[in-house]
């Protein structure tokens, strides 16, 4: 399986970008680093809504993303990061 730094799913099913194993215990927003329960790779699980759960694996991510995540972890709390992601989404959708 190709190593992905970003995978998307929902709270019932999201595949790990490293090992491909399905995770179904992501039930809370925590922007601090966690691990995949199968392969133990360090990653962050962003639980935005039931339908929108994201895994980011900093080890595989572009350096800018890695630095951005570190900044978010030290400067923002859980609610602020959700807000930030929603606002970034708006920027990405501008036309
Ligand atoms: Zn894994």
pLDDT digit string (tens) for the chain, length 95 residues: 679 999 999 988 999 999 999 988 776 777 788 899 899 999 999 888 889 899 999 999 999 999 999 999 999 998 898 899 889 889 988 77
CA 83 to ligand 1 center in whole angstroms: 27
What pLDDT was estimated at residue 1? 67
CA 29 to ligand 1 center in whole angstroms: 19
**CA 16/CA 7 separation, integer angstroms:** 7
Report the 10 Å Cβ neighbour count for 81: 20
Q: What are phi and psi of 51, to 5 degrees?
A: -90, -5
CA 95 to ligand 1 center in whole angstroms: 36
Q: What share of the chain is helix, strand, coil (3-state, %, to 5)?
A: 35, 30, 35
CA 42 to ligand 1 center in whole angstroms: 9
What pLDDT was estimated at residue 46? 87
CA 23 to ligand 1 center in whole angstroms: 8
CA 86 to ligand 1 center in whole angstroms: 26
**Which whole-number Å values give the CA distances from 14 to 27, 64, 88, 95, in the listed order?**
12, 24, 22, 30
């Amino acid at each position: 399986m190709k190593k992905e730094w970003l995978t998307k799913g929902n709270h019932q099913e999201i595949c790990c970008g490293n090992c491909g194993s399905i995770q179904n215990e992501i039930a809370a927003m925590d922007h601090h680093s966690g691990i995949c329960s199968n392969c133990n790779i360090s990653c962050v699980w962003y639980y935005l809504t039931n339908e929108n759960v994201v895994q980011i694996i900093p080890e595989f991510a572009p350096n800018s993303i890695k630095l951005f995540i570190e900044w978010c972890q030290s400067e923002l709390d859980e609610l602020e990061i959700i807000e930030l992601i929603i606002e970034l989404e708006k920027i990405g959708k501008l036309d």
